[in-house]
Amino acid sequence: MYKKSTLLVMIIVLSMFFITSCKKENPTETPSNNLIVTVGEGLTPKYSWTYANGNPTNICRLVVYRADDLGDTIWGIDTPYDWFSDGISSPVTHGTVPEGAERYGVADISPLPVNNAYRVLIQKMNGVQGIKDFSR
């Protein structure tokens, strides 16, 4: 009986970890992976990403911050809470919410204000992140 209870608790804890991993973020943290993020030109740039080896991958969240205030989202998207998947394909244009995604955060600043430094963070369901700093 004790072994079954312990196993059940472990399964529940691990399940909760995986389910909520996409809902955690830390834009100041060094990326824990080899996701490469590319930012296009202009005030509504295209954000694209791949693994370091060039293979494509989907993500569950993309968030843009002003570099001098990483606690404040400028613009972002993520997959709906009930999907729990990496449902966002590369590339994504700033200010456009692609099919299968929803707005993330309160702010919806588009186009990007000029003369600022920014950070874009992408994240997969398993917590793997990629970060790219850029200026406009």
What's the predicted TM-score (pTM) here?
A: 0.75
Class of the CATH-defined domain 2-135: mainly beta
Tokens of 25: 């973020």
CA–CA gap between residue 19 and residue 111 (Å, rounded):
32
Per residue in 25-79, pLDDT tens?
555 554 445 799 999 999 999 999 999 889 999 999 999 999 998 888 999 999 9
Q: What is the pLDDT of residue 15?
A: 45
Which stretch, 6-10, 25-29, 67-71, 81-85, has highest mean pLDDT?
67-71
pLDDT, mean of residues 8-31:
49
CA neighbor of 44 nearest in space, from 118, 121, 101: 118
Query: 3-state DSSP call for residue 29?
Result: coil
pLDDT tops 80 at residue 81: no
Surface-to-core class of residue 11, CB atoms within 10 Å of its CB (0-12 exposed, 13-18 middle, 19+ buried): exposed
Neighbours of 34 (CB within 10 A): 11
Per residue in 117-132, pLDDT tens?
999 999 999 889 999 9
Delimit the domains of the chain by residue range. 2-135
